[in-house]
C-alpha cells in the first residue's frame, strides 16, 4: 500500500483512506478506515460480505441502473472468468429488450432506468450475484513463462447464435521434456439482436481472434516463432479467397483477417476440443477450475 501511495503521489493523486477486505498485513502509516460497512451510491457494501450474507442483505428493490453499475464494477481485463460474466451480458440485454411490463390494471408500461424491476427478474439477478462469490475459489497461474522454454500462441475461436468469442493460449516447449500451457486472455461479444447467418458470425469471431493476436504480439515482449489459429472449416475456406468476390460485410472482415494473419496459420478441430466454445455460452464457476480445459487447454496440446 505504501508503494502504491508513493507512485500515485508522483502524479498528484493522494489517497484519502483505504478500506480493506479480508485479513492482510498492513504497512505503517496507511490510513485505514476500521468500519464494517461502506455506503456507496445508496447501497450498503460490506467488504467482508460472504455468500449467505449476500442472499440475506440483497436489496428487495432493484433497478436497471443499479444492475448496470454492479456489472461495470466487475474487473476482469484479461477475460479469465469470461464464461461466468457472459451470463450477465445476456441477462442485461434481455432486461433492456423487454421494455414493457404490465401494471396492476393489466396495462403495459415502459420500465425506466430508476423504476423497480419485476420480482422474477430480481430473483434471477440475486442468483447471479450470489454465485459470483464462488469466483474467489478460482486460482490461475501467475507465471506465464517457464524457465528456458520456447513457445507459440494458439488462438481458438468459436461462435453461436448467442455470442462469439476467442481465447488465446501459449504452448511452451520445456527444455527438459514435455509441454506447459497457459491461458493468456479471452474476449467475446454478444451476437447481434438482428439474426445473421452462422457463417457471418464465424467470420466475426475470426476478426476478434486476429485482433486479440495483434494485441498479444504487440504487448508481450517474447518472440514467438509461429502463431496458430483454430477455427471452423468455413472460415478457412473464405480466407483463402480474394475479397473482391464478396459483398461489403464479408469483404471488409476478410481483408482484416488476411492483413493480420496468414492462411496457412488456420486449422480446424472438433468442437469438443475447442475451449473457445466456453466463451459462447454461460458456464458455472466450477467448470473453470485449475484442471479444467479452460485453464489447461485441450489435451492434444500436451
Give the pLDDT mean for 70-89.
92
> In the structure, what pLDDT confidence band is assigned to residue 41 with cuts at 50, 70 and 90?
very low
What band does 27 get if pLDDT is binned at 50, 70 and 90?
low
Please indicate, yes or no, whether residues 30 and 51 belong to a single structural domain of this protein: no
Tell me whether residue 56 is exposed, middle or buried, using C-beta atoms within 10 angstroms of its C-beta: 0 to 12, 13 to 18, 19 or more: exposed
Once rounded to an integer, what is the mean pLDDT over residues 242-248? 83
The Cα–Cα gap between 199 and 232 comes to: 9
Do 290 and 235 reside in the same domain of the chain?
yes
pLDDT value for 279: 94
Cell numbers of 283, please?
Answer: 458456464
The average pLDDT across 22-42 equals 57
Is 71 a member of any domain? yes
List the one residue out of 162, 270, 157, 275 whose CA is nearest residue 210: 157
Tell me whether residue 144 is in a domain.
no
In a domain, 176, yes or no: yes
Q: Which domain holds residue 221?
A: 150-301
The terminus-to-terminus CA distance of the chain in angstroms comes to 40
Q: Record the cell numbers describing residue 83, joined without a space.
A: 464464461
- Structural domain count, the chain: 3
Are residues 84 and 185 part of one domain?
no
b/e burial code for range 278-290 (CB count within 10 A of at least 16 → b): bbbebbebeebee
Residues 164-187 have a mean pLDDT of 90
One domain for residues 116 and 55: yes
Distance separating alpha carbons of residues 302 and 181, to the nearest angstrom: 8
Question: Average pLDDT of 164-178?
Answer: 89
Does residue 261 sit within a domain?
yes
What is the model's pLDDT at position 9? 85
Query: Which of these, 263, 218, 228, 231, lies nearest to 153 by C-alpha position?
Result: 228
Residue 232: pLDDT over 80: no
CB 124 within 8 A of CB 91: yes
Q: Do the Cβ atoms of 15 and 29 come closer than 8 Å? A: no
pLDDT score of 55: 61
Cα 150 to its chain centre, rounded Å, is: 27
Residues 156 and 285 in one domain: yes
105 and 158 in one domain?
A: no
Does residue 143 sit within a domain? Answer: no
Domain boundary among 137, 164, 185: 137
pLDDT digits (tens, 9 = 90+) for 124-139: 998 898 888 888 888 8
* Boundary-marking domain end, from 137, 159, 194: 137
Residue 45's pLDDT band, with cuts at 50, 70 and 90, is: very low
Residue 145 maps to a domain: no
Mean pLDDT across the chain, nearest whole number? 82
Radius of gyration of the chain (CA): 23
Q: What is the pLDDT of residue 43?
A: 36
Same domain, 48 and 8: no
Q: Looking at the structure, tell me whether residues 122 and 249 fall in a common domain.
A: no
Instruction: Please say whether the beta carbons of 114 and 68 come within 8 A.
Output: no
At 169 the pLDDT is: 93
pLDDT at 240: 84
Whether 185 shows a pLDDT value over 90: the answer reads: yes
Name residue, grid cell 472460415: 235
| 256 in any annotated domain | yes
- Distance of alpha carbon 61 from alpha carbon 70, whole angstroms: 14
Band (pLDDT 50/70/90 cuts) for residue 44 is: very low
- Mean pLDDT across 93-113: 70
Check whether residue 119 and residue 197 sit in a common domain: no
Same domain, 131 and 262: no
The answer on 101 and 229 residing in a single domain is no
In the predicted structure, residue 24 carries a pLDDT above the cut 80: no
The answer to whether 289 and 138 have CB atoms below 8 angstroms apart is: yes
Band the pLDDT of 47: cuts 50, 70, 90: very low
Residue 142 lies in a domain: no
Q: How far apart are CA 203 and CA 103, in angstroms?
A: 43
With 60 as the cut, is the pLDDT of residue 176 above it?
yes
Q: What is the CATH number of the domain that holds 172?
A: 3.30.420
Higher pLDDT, 195 or 205: 205
70 with 161, same domain: the answer is no
Amino acid at each position: 500500500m505504501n508503494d502504491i501511495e508513493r507512485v500515485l503521489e508522483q502524479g498528484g493523486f493522494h489517497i484519502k483512506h483505504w478500506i480493506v477486505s479480508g485479513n492482510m498485513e498492513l504497512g505503517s502509516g496507511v490510513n485505514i478506515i476500521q468500519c464494517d460497512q461502506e455506503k456507496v451510491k445508496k447501497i450498503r457494501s460490506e467488504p467482508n460480505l460472504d455468500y449467505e450474507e449476500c442472499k440475506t442483505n440483497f436489496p428487495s428493490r432493484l433497478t436497471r441502473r443499479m444492475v448496470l453499475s454492479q456489472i461495470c464494477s466487475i474487473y476482469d481485463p484479461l477475460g479469465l472468468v469470461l464464461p461466468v460474466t457472459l451470463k450477465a451480458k445476456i441477462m442485461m440485454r434481455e432486461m433492456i429488450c423487454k421494455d414493457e411490463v404490465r401494471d396492476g390494471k393489466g396495462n403495459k408500461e415502459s420500465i425506466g432506468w430508476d423504476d423497480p424491476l419485476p420480482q422474477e427478474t430480481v430473483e434471477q439477478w440475486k442468483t447471479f450475484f450470489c454465485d459470483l462469490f464462488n469466483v474467489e475459489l478460482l486460482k490461475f497461474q501467475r507465471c506465464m513463462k517457464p524457465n528456458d522454454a520456447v513457445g507459440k500462441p494458439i488462438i481458438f475461436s468459436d461462435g453461436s447464435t448467442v455470442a462469439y468469442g476467442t481465447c488465446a493460449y501459449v504452448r511452451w516447449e520445456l527444455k527438459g521434456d514435455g509441454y506447459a500451457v497457459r491461458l493468456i486472455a479471452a474476449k467475446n461479444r454478444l451476437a447481434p439482436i438482428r439474426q445473421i447467418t452462422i457463417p457471418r458470425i464465424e467470420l466475426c469471431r475470426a476478426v476478434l481472434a486476429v485482433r486479440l493476436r495483434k494485441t498479444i504480439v504487440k504487448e508481450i515482449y517474447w518472440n514467438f516463432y509461429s502463431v496458430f489459429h483454430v477455427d471452423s472449416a468455413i472460415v478457412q475456406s473464405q480466407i483463402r479467397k480474394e475479397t473482391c468476390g464478396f459483398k461489403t460485410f464479408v469483404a471488409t472482415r476478410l481483408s482484416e483477417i488476411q492483413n493480420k494473419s496468414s492462411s496457412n496459420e488456420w486449422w480446424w478441430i472438433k468442437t469438443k476440443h475447442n475451449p473457445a466454445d466456453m466463451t459462447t455460452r454461460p458456464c458455472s464457476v466450477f467448470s473453470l477450475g485449475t484442471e479444467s480445459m479452460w485453464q489447461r487447454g485441450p489435451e492434444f496440446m500436451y
